[in-house]
Amino acid sequence: MIKSKIFIGFTLGQILLLTLFFLLSHASRLPGRDDELQARRELVHRLGLTDFAIWTEARYTRHPSQTDFFSPFQDFPSSLEHFPAGSVIAPVLPSGSDRR
Amino acid sequence: METSAYIRTENVRKVYNPGRPDEMTALDDVSITVDRGAVTVIKGPSGSGKTSLLSVIGCMSRPTAGRVFVDGKDVVKLPERFLTGVRRKKFGFIFQQYHLIRNLNTLDNILLPLYPTNMMPPEMKRRALAVMAKLSLSGKQHSRAKNLSGGEQQRVAIARALINDPAVIIADEPTAHLDRGLAAEFMRILASLCGEGRTVLIATHDPFIYGHDLVGKTIAMRDGRIEEER
Amino acid sequence: MIKHLKIIDYALASLLRRKFKSLAIITAFTVVVTALASILLFTGALKKEAELVLAGAPDLIVQRTAGGRHDLIPAAYADKIREIPGIGMVIPRYWGYYYDPLTEANYTILGTDGKAERLELLEGRLPERDGECAVGAGIAEMQRTVGGGELILVDSSNTGVLYEVVGVFRAASSLLTNDLIVLTDNEVIRFFGLPSGKATDISVQVYNREELQTAAAKVKRMLPDTRPITRTELVRTYEMVFNWRSGMLLTVFSAAVIAFCILAWDKATGISADEKREIGILKAVGWDTSDVLALKFWEGLIIALTAFLLGTIAGFVHIFFFNAFLLAPVIKGWSVVFPDFHLAPHLDPYLVFTLGFLTVAPYVASTVIPAWKTAVTDPETIMRG
């Protein structure tokens, strides 16, 4: 039964590792991590930042939370969305009121 | 040796593919007895229903009609799980084609019947090695079945049939692929099994078998019916 | 228990007898799970990061729109907004984009009030005079400049302007500041040639956070040509990364589903003659239907569970220990300035169970079900063929 024991041991090892990862993600609330978070929040607050600096390929992809609904099609009336970021992030449609 | 009917069939009928164009009656009103501790041979030409009768008796298939008694119990109506239990505990089957798993080694082929039991692996291995020693297979435990000779494959098939210490050994055309020397060797092994008190049932059309001194009763079949019983 | 361990042993031996095929399936399956897990973990981590970090963002940003597009907003609107009850600080913001033709990169130029503050994630300080700037780590690297160094930008009148770099944002903040150039508000106005009395947008503080939507509605009613954006919407933006309707995820998922269907179809279109023969032998030597099905179940589970666990672990390690280096080129697009993803580890058990269920269950089913018909048949019938 050595094969089954090895398999079960290996599987339990992987489950243990995933459990450790889960604990790690919650251990992020430790003081060190909290300080880092606080520093980032302070930065955001001081500079009034609204978005992550991820998609710098176009102006409207840089600030997706600020972008109006039409910018991806801005070049001409039947323009298609052509920046790769458009295929990664979908537009946020606000609940209620007008479309963005 | 006590002789009494260990196995008994009553008006057994087996029809394959009923209601279809290729419907075939393999057994028709077959009633036989197999004595405990004796060697019984079922002889007949190819297509006479010998293999079908062995399958029905060995609980490998259910008859279309009729009853089968093994050690006094009617096995036909048993639910599948119990039927499998009877098959595993009471019968050791040696197939005409041996039906070994080709890429498995000798030891693992012999151990197959013991996997779905609660026997511990060390005990399983001990039993297998004991049986292999009896059949002169020691040293072949790691050889793959596909690399064994015909005679060796047959002995592995016999070892597999014996591993559960069954009361009945069923052999279907055991000498079909063997030369005379190996056939004689097979009969010597059978003699020792009989000496242990086991019941042996053989289906064959080889006169070397059914004419052998070891054979107690011979049942002749033709076209799915019993022709003669001696 | 012993019986099941022995059946698992037999299943493992059976898979090892076909080791190349088994390894190929596990590898392909693991790669698919790694891709899916990476995307899901990345999205989850980014959402969590947004929730935690963008909690410091302005409560409300008020933009002006003209012709459905963003337009500059009169700074005087700030005075009107201040009159709304429940509204705190109202600050016009000055910011914009700068395209550097040399590096073909887009930068964000952000104005600040000129208080030369020190921040933990800033090496140096914020600019207090017009000729000073603070830059993100990505820009410092692109422009090969450091604190105390220089930066030349071309303003709206096509004139080169020299700035002294008084601060460089630390790499730990690159997700927020990588492409930022911080100037004083006056310098931003001069640099972009913004008309007098106009701002890019207005940042609004709302005292009661429960009243964000109400405040936004009031602003909209008072100033119909504006578009208020609440902080809630800001955070929700990052829930839309790799949203199932986004092209990228649809493509990856479709490819994964198609790969799966091909695998399942291959298994489900019937078991091979060899497999049938093996089941027949097992039944003949005393395995009953449930033992055979248990064997098939374990064969499927060994492969699927191993691939799922390995794939999830690989996905986690890829995103949180190797900074999503395989996903980054996919997300990056045509960005020239792109941050390193130092995301905080985040593992949602619900996600793991869902992914597990969606990957393991179909594979196990596609292993067990085709064997079912053979497993319930009499051994004699199986061996007759």
Q: Contacts of residue C284 in chain B, CB cutoff 8 Å?
A: 60, 87, 93, 95, 99
**The pLDDT of residue B3 is above 60:** no
Q: What is the pLDDT of residues B161-177, one digit of tens each?
A: 999 999 999 999 988 87
Do A56 and A86 lie in one domain? The reply is: yes
How far CA C42 is from CA of A41, B51, B215, C332, C351, in Å, comes to 20, 63, 77, 14, 12
State the pLDDT at residue A100: 41
Of all residues in chain B, the one with the smallest CA distance to C283 is B84
C200 touching A, CB under 8 A? no
State the pLDDT at residue A13: 97
How many Å lie between the alpha carbon of A40 and the closest alpha carbon of chain C?
6
Number of domain units in chain A: 2
Of B50 and C244, the structure prediction assigns the larger pLDDT to B50
C117 touching B, CB under 8 A? no
A100 assigned to some structural domain: no
pLDDT averaged over every residue in chain B:
89
Confidence of residue A70 (pLDDT cuts 50, 70, 90): low
Mutate to test the interface with B, among C3, C15, C275, C285 (most CBs of B within 10 A): C285
State the pLDDT at residue A76: 65
Span C23-47, mean pLDDT? 89
State the pLDDT at residue C190: 94
**The pLDDT of residue C100 is above 90:** no
A45 assigned to some structural domain: no
Do A57 and A28 lie in one domain? The reply is: no
The single residue listed with the structure tokens 């000779």 is: B149
Q: How many CB atoms lie within 10 A of CB C147?
A: 16
Confidence of residue C51 (pLDDT cuts 50, 70, 90): confident
> Which one, of C48, C152, C149, C49, lies nearest residue C100 by Cα?
C152
B192-210 exposure pattern, b = at least 16 Cβ within 10 A, e = fewer: ebbeeebbbbbbbbbeebb
Single pTM value for the model: 0.82
State the pLDDT at residue B125: 93
For chain B, how big is the Rg over CA atoms in Å? 17
C377 touching B, CB under 8 A? no
Q: Which domain holds residue A84?
A: 50-91
> With a cut of 0.85, is the ipTM above it?
yes
Percent of chain C surpassing pLDDT 90: 39
Nearest to C291 among B93, B103, B116 (CB): B116
Residue pair C323/C43 in contact by the 8 Å Cβ criterion: no
Q: Is B43 helix (H, G, I), strand (E, B) or coil?
A: strand
Who's near B110: CB < 8 A, 6+ residues apart? B128, B131, B132, B156, B159, B160, B163
To the nearest 10 degrees (0 to 180), the angle between helices C273-284 and C289-316 is: 130
Do C86 and C137 lie in one domain? The reply is: yes
Q: How far is CA B142 from the centre of its chain?
A: 25
**Range picked from C233-237, C319-323, C375-379 for highest mean pLDDT:** C319-323
Mutate to test the interface with C, among A66, A69, A97 (most CBs of C within 10 A): A66
Parse chain B into domains and list their residue ranges.
5-229
- Nearest-angstrom CA–CA distance, C67 and C52: 35
Do C79 and C16 lie in one domain? The reply is: no
Beta bridge partners of C66: C69
Q: Which of C237, C254, C282 is the last residue of a domain?
A: C237
Do C106 and C211 lie in one domain? The reply is: yes
| Structure-token pair, residue B166 | 């069954």
Strands (E) in chain C, as ranges, are 60-66, 69-71, 73-74, 87-93, 95-100, 105-112, 122-124, 132-135, 150-154, 160-169, 180-184, 198-199, 201-206, 226-230
C372 touching B, CB under 8 A? no
Q: What is the pLDDT of residues B114-137, one digit of tens each?
A: 999 989 999 999 999 999 998 888
Who's near A26: CB < 8 A, 6+ residues apart? none
Do C208 and C252 lie in one domain? The reply is: no
Do C216 and C349 lie in one domain? The reply is: no
> Which one, of C114, C189, C126, C191, lies nearest residue C160 by Cα?
C191
Are A45 and C174 an interchain contact pair (Cβ–Cβ within 8 Å)?
no
Do C379 and C265 lie in one domain? The reply is: yes
Are C288 and B84 an interchain contact pair (Cβ–Cβ within 8 Å)?
yes
State the pLDDT at residue C305: 95
How many Å lie between the alpha carbon of C364 and the closest alpha carbon of chain A?
17
Do A56 and A87 lie in one domain? The reply is: yes
- Nearest-angstrom CA–CA distance, B201 and B174: 11
Q: Which of C237, C254, C273 is the last residue of a domain?
A: C237
Q: Contacts of residue B103 in chain C, CB cutoff 8 Å?
A: 17
- Nearest-angstrom CA–CA distance, C378 and C375: 8
| Structure-token pair, residue A63 | 């600030």
Are A57 and C61 an interchain contact pair (Cβ–Cβ within 8 Å)?
no
Confidence of residue C73 (pLDDT cuts 50, 70, 90): very high
CATH architecture of the domain with range B5-229: 3-Layer(aba) Sandwich (3.40)
Do C206 and C68 lie in one domain? The reply is: yes
Sign of the Cα torsion C65, C66, C71, C72 reads negative
Per-window interface: C 49-88 vs B, CB < 8 A: none
**The pLDDT of residue C97 is above 70:** yes
HEC secondary structure over chain A:
CHHHHHHHHHHHHHHHHHHHHHHHHHHCCCHHHHHHHHHHHHHHHHHCCCCCCCCCCCHHHHCCCCCCCCHHHCCCCCCCCCCHHHHCECCCCCCCCCCC
Residue pair B11/B21 in contact by the 8 Å Cβ criterion: no
Number of domain units in chain C: 2
The single residue listed with the structure tokens 């086991």 is: B198
- Nearest-angstrom CA–CA distance, A6 and A12: 10
Q: Which domain holds residue C262?
A: 2-53+241-384
- Nearest-angstrom CA–CA distance, C126 and C119: 8
| DSSP tally for chain C: helices H, then strands E | 14, 14
